[in-house]
Amino acid sequence: MKYLLDTSALIAHFRDEEGAEKLQDLFDSKEAQVLIASVSLPEFARRLRELGMSEQESLHVLDQYLLVLEEVVPVDGTVARGAFEILCKSSERLPLIDSLIAAAARSSDAILIHRDRHMRAIPASMLTQLDLEGGKAED
């Protein structure tokens, strides 16, 4: 099974917040393929800086996560078009970066894992999600 982590999920794992244990189970599983969208990399590193880490510390943590992630999904034309479709169909305003992350999950046939209220606006028919706050998969 494929899973794509939203930046909010990665932060939850790093900070050992609600849902971190579910992500650790995925990292430890031989059956799970854990992916991340390329746009989440600078977003995660920026968030680490906001939490007080230096640039070098942030890059070190990012590099450690890249060792356990199966793939970095690039944002290409297909993902960008998919992001627009998601934006058009979402029930609430969705930040552009979140739409790109969701579209990367969709194009990879992966379950999107997040802790982000914005993602709940994406119609279930477009994407399977696992909300770490609710612990519920939607498809």
Confidence category of residue 17, pLDDT binned at 50, 70, 90: very high
DSSP 36: E
Structural domains of the chain in order of their starting residue, each with its CATH number:
2-138 (3.40.50.1010)
- Quote the tokens at residue 65: 């996560």
The pLDDT mean for the chain works out to: 94
Give the pLDDT confidence score for residue 79 in this predicted structure.
98
Contact between 117 and 25 under an 8 Å Cβ cutoff? The reply is no
Give the pLDDT confidence score for residue 134 in this predicted structure.
67
Only one residue has tokens 């934006």, namely 87
Question: Which residues is 137 bridged to in the sheet?
Answer: 130
Q: What is the pLDDT of residues 55-108, one digit of tens each?
A: 999 999 999 999 999 999 999 999 999 999 999 999 999 999 999 999 999 999
